[in-house]
Structure 1
Amino acid sequence: MREAGAPRGQGQSPRGTRALSQPQIILLTYVLSALELTCLFMHFSVLPYLSRRLGLDSVAFGYQQTLFGVLQLLGGPVFGRFADQRGARAAFTLSFLASSGLYLLLAAACSPALPGVTLLFASRLPGALMHTLPAAQMVLADLSAPEERPTALSRLGLCFGVGVIFGSLLGGTLSSSCGIQCPVIVALVVSLLGAVLSFTCIPTNTKGASDHAQPVPPGRTKASVFDLKAISRLLLQPGVLPVFLVKVISGFPSGLFTVMFSIISMDFFQLEAAQASYLMSFFGVLQMVIQGLVIGRLSSHFSEGALLRASVLVFSLVGLAMALMTHVFHFCLLMPGLVFSLCTLNVVTDSLLTKAVSASDTGTMLGLCASVQPLMRTLGPTLGGLLYRSFGVPAFGHVQFAVNFLLLLVLWRQPIPRKTDKAP
């Protein structure tokens, strides 16, 4: 029998360990997210140099990046459904074990005695199951009340900022002082630690852990994790598809720019590698401040529909200014608006979409949301490359302004409902 006053969903830790309280589970979720993102950006910081050392040209490097994006695109919804069916502990543990497999193969690729190129491409395969952030979002959505959900999700921005800053700095520092294999080995050890913490401390399931969570609908047959119909039916539920389309359409132009940013920083802004890393650190700090501190406060004063329209409006204004920029200083001035729009769009749409489905489907829904970024990384290099080669950097601003301005007109005529969570 559940102890009086204890949140539902607790007391399901492995035998011999003490069940954590709900605030402790939420804090551990943030810690695990920060660890995973730090490892991910350590890996990103050394991957181009490892590829160059193995003799890969820019085309081959693009192929393995595209492979990683496609695998994450396909794996996101399946992983989300796995999290719904098997629970938070299994989802976190699987994601960290997949990360460990990726870093193990990447460390092996650094060895001159092994076939490095083959192992480098093989290391992309576990990426299909590397989805710690959607797992964390599912736990926060399960444990938070609907009115508190935007604030809880926005605090993940602090974790993202920590990952960008410390991951990039650690990756560069360790590879310079101890060799290119060192950051990968550190990431492997940290990922294994994350798997142990997940298995021993995260509850088996967080569904129904909040008084506001909704029970699994009675009479529903338990479908397979790979049931595509069960995944796609979520998009057909009331209030889901319009919000999901806004998420994809509004963020796609900025996604194209982000994918091409490494090329733009070298060719258009004429930045050295160190200067580009400083700019990325600035981006990480802005993300921490805006998503971790600003959006949570705004969500308590404004409706989610108003915040969504504000993000689209700022996107269009930033796009107009981006079409006129000629120097990296101009881009630094635009960065706060760009980061605000990106963070607000992601937090608000994730919150609206998790409210629009039952508690038993929040993981699958967040898995679909997690597939948006891999979709951009898959299509972005080709589309962004054609746009950049044909029209230059101003074209990204023109496209962003046009798309978001038209979307703003649509939202003004048919605004997103202020509350889309289902009745209990």
Structure 2
Amino acid sequence: MQGARAPKAHGQSLDAMGTLGRPWVILLTYVLTAMELSCLFLQFSIIPYLSRSLGLDSVAFGYQQTIFGVLQLLGGPLFGRFADQRGARAALTLSFMAASALYLLLAAACSPGLPGVALLFASRLPAVLMHTLPAAQMIITDLSAPEERPAALSRLGLCFGVGSIIGSLLGGTLSAAYGIQCPALVALGINLLGTVLSFTCIPANTKGAGARAQAAPPGSSRASVFDLKAIIRLLLQPGVLPVFLVKVVSGFPSGLFMVMFSIICMDFFQLEAAQSGYLMSFFGVLQMVIQGLVIGRLSRHFSEAALLRASVLVFMVVGLAMVLMSNIFHFCLLMPGLVFSLCALNVVTDSMLTKAVSASDTGTMLGLCASVHPLTRTLGPTLGGLLYRSFGVPIFGHVQFTVNFLVLLFLWRQPMLQKMDKVR
């Protein structure tokens, strides 16, 4: 596989650049990721209330959510190419600076006397450069050996779980105690701190010397960040497109369900706002445990191809059970399987795709992977709303089972995955 690098090379490249040692850089990357995700979930918890206080209806709220999703969708691959060309420090610093701009505009939207609606919509614009998670994935990918990569990437699930729990709790607590502007100001301060830590402590480039030479041969001009042909060529490399399509298609039905989850909680499960918050906290804890602990251990005993098939198979089982689901207790029984499938699919496909490309292209590949979730957030509200209104909750189970059954048939016919199983 291209992109395989020995751990020694990582250490040497970091030592040559100075700053922190490899273990401390990885630890700091996890901390910075948890900080940014906490602020992101803090934002999600206050945006609906801010929109309501500004007089926006559900349609206008949907528009701003769509804008956020589209900008992240478009910015993911371009940010990945920027990370490959400019290095980890520039990419992570840029992401935190963009997030700081977003929370500054959000705090201004809460201020009386200012055009709150215009500032709220303007606060969505920096989202095009907010990609801390793929930047962190690139750093972890560059600093870990290929055989260690699934476990290292899975630990980012701990950051996601910590962020979802702390961010949701902080958003509600601070807004109740000090007003809706306070969470935005706290998030602004955290992201400014993240900007400083990224610029001063993260190495300028975490890729090995060979990868840097490959990315910019002597005497050649640097390719443009906006070179879409280079991004398309990356997808067409052997072994890339099938895995990427599996990542998009297999997770899309559950993404539709999660996009509509807040509505389903109110209408189908008849939950109050506080109860929905507890349920999301439970979801975050499950993700911390499964992605942070379970997936990493399973990756040491099973091949990535086997784990990918397992995630698709569990998706099918959960889809069948979702058809019969009638209350919140049933959903709680399904959540471990759903979270396992989502975590395994994301971690395994990210690992496989970064191994399938050269070391100089891992940032672009992870940027493409990061665009999958915004794609669901962009298409999901409209499509999910139509399905839910026409057929009810069981339709999400039918779609999930059918789509993943077809994906499983596709995987069994993939010679690349069969070879990977044999090599393992």
TM-score bracket relative to the smaller structure: over 0.9
- Provide the rounded CA distance (Å) in 2 between the counterparts of 1:79 and 1:67: 17
TM-score by length of 2: 0.94
- Provide the rounded CA distance (Å) in 2 between the counterparts of 1:313 and 1:320: 11
Show the counterpart of 1:161. Answer: 161
Cα offsets for 1:163-193 (capped at 9, x unmatched)? 0000000111000011101111000000000
- 2:175 aligns to what SS in structure 1? helix
Matches within 5 A, 1:9-408: 9-11=13-15, 19-208=19-208, 216=214, 218=217, 221-408=221-408
AA in 2 matched with 1:404: N
Cα offsets for 1:280-337 (capped at 9, x unmatched)? 0000000000000000000000000000000000001000000110001100000000
- Provide the rounded CA distance (Å) in 1 between the counterparts of 2:370 and 2:274: 30
Q: Which runs of 5+ in 1 are unaligned?
A: none
Cα offsets for 1:226-264 (capped at 9, x unmatched)? 111111111000000000000000000000001000110
- Provide the rounded CA distance (Å) in 2 between the counterparts of 1:251 and 1:281: 21
Show the counterpart of 2:4. Answer: none
- Provide the rounded CA distance (Å) in 2 between the counterparts of 1:166 and 1:177: 16
Preserved contact between residue 243 and residue 416 of structure 1 (Cα < 8 Å): no
Preserved contact between residue 303 and residue 418 of structure 1 (Cα < 8 Å): no
AA in 2 matched with 1:380: G
- Provide the rounded CA distance (Å) in 2 between the counterparts of 1:288 and 1:82: 30
Q: How far 1:413 sits from its partner (Å)?
A: 2.6
Preserved contact between residue 11 and residue 203 of structure 1 (Cα < 8 Å): no
Q: Does 1:8 align with 2:21?
A: no
Preserved contact between residue 89 and residue 205 of structure 2 (Cα < 8 Å): yes
- Provide the rounded CA distance (Å) in 2 between the counterparts of 1:71 and 1:132: 15
Preserved contact between residue 308 and residue 345 of structure 1 (Cα < 8 Å): yes
Change (3 A) 1:178 1:216: same
- Provide the rounded CA distance (Å) in 1 between the counterparts of 2:221 and 2:315: 42
AA in 2 matched with 1:151: A
Preserved contact between residue 305 and residue 415 of structure 1 (Cα < 8 Å): no
Count of aligned pairs: 411
Q: How far 1:159 sits from its partner (Å)?
A: 0.1
- Provide the rounded CA distance (Å) in 2 between the counterparts of 1:206 and 1:410: 36
- Provide the rounded CA distance (Å) in 2 between the counterparts of 1:415 and 1:407: 14
- Provide the rounded CA distance (Å) in 1 between the counterparts of 2:226 and 2:128: 13
Cα offsets for 1:126-171 (capped at 9, x unmatched)? 0000000000000011010000000000000000000000000011
Show the counterpart of 1:413. Answer: 413
- Provide the rounded CA distance (Å) in 2 between the counterparts of 1:368 and 1:46: 28
- Provide the rounded CA distance (Å) in 1 between the counterparts of 2:418 and 2:132: 29
Change (3 A) 1:36 1:28: same
- Provide the rounded CA distance (Å) in 2 between the counterparts of 1:216 and 1:398: 47
- Provide the rounded CA distance (Å) in 2 between the counterparts of 1:377 and 1:111: 28
AA in 2 matched with 1:309: R
- Provide the rounded CA distance (Å) in 1 between the counterparts of 2:9 and 2:348: 31
Cα offsets for 1:14-54 (capped at 9, x unmatched)? xxxx6200000000000000000001001110000000000
- Provide the rounded CA distance (Å) in 2 between the counterparts of 1:390 and 1:5: 56
- 1:170 aligns to what SS in structure 2? helix
- 2:13 aligns to what SS in structure 1? coil
Identity across aligned pairs (percent)? Answer: 79
- Provide the rounded CA distance (Å) in 2 between the counterparts of 1:255 and 1:6: 36
Show the counterpart of 2:5. Answer: none
Runs of 4+ in 1 over 4 A off after TM superposition: 217-221
Preserved contact between residue 12 and residue 204 of structure 1 (Cα < 8 Å): no
Change (3 A) 1:88 1:141: same
Q: How far 1:414 sits from its partner (Å)?
A: 2.2
Change (3 A) 1:418 1:202: farther
Q: How far 1:222 sits from its partner (Å)?
A: 2.5
Greater mean deviation of Cα atoms: 406-415 or 128-137? 406-415
Q: Which runs of 5+ in 2 are unaligned?
A: 1-7
Q: How far 1:417 sits from its partner (Å)?
A: 2.7
AA in 2 matched with 1:147: E
- 1:252 aligns to what SS in structure 2? helix
